[in-house]
Amino acid sequence: ESGEGSIVCISSIVSSYNIIEAPLAYSVAKGMLNRYVNGLTPYLSKKGIRINIISPGNVLFSKSIWEKKLKADKNKTLKYIKNKVPLNKFAEIDDISSMVIYLASDKAKFITGSEFIIDGGQTKL
């Protein structure tokens, strides 16, 4: 039986880009998630279900690794962001959730099997 629906998976830029500071196991797990979504796309499409991936970069939120790094060494952390992220800032939860809402909506009814990178340009360096 077919239906209509949308699945939005949260991955990471480390799934496809070599970010040396990222834990290897995390990078591998996110890479496998991306591959899984790619494999599911044709199957789910036949059932009327869209599936997409959002791959954020450095997201700052309460109790995140970035909050911990800022508390441990604010200057070092901000220097890293300045050197690695062209927009020179962290992503915020709203940056990610806005894309989730869009992809889950009917406005994205012809989008499936796609990855959306939200990283302030970090993967373009």
**What does the pLDDT look like over 43-82, one tens digit per residue?**
999 999 999 999 999 999 999 999 999 999 999 999 999 9
pLDDT level of residue 13 (50, 70, 90 thresholds):
very high
Among 17, 26, 36, 80, the one annotated catalytic:
26
What is the Cα–Cα distance from 109 to 102, expressed in whole angstroms?
10
What pLDDT does residue 68 have?
Answer: 97
Rounded Cα–Cα distance for residues 46 and 16 (Å): 27
Find the helix or strand (DSSP H, E) in which 106 lies: none
CA-CA distance, 22 to 17, in Å (whole number)? 10
The continuous run of DSSP H or E covering 62 comes out as: none
Say yes or no to pLDDT of 99 above 90: yes
Spatial contact of 115 and 11, defined as CB atoms under 8 Å apart: yes
Residue 75: CB atoms within 10 A of its CB come to 8
Q: Is the pLDDT of residue 4 over 90?
A: no
Let me know if 17 is a catalytic residue. no
Q: H-type helices in 46-92, by residue range?
A: 65-72, 74-84
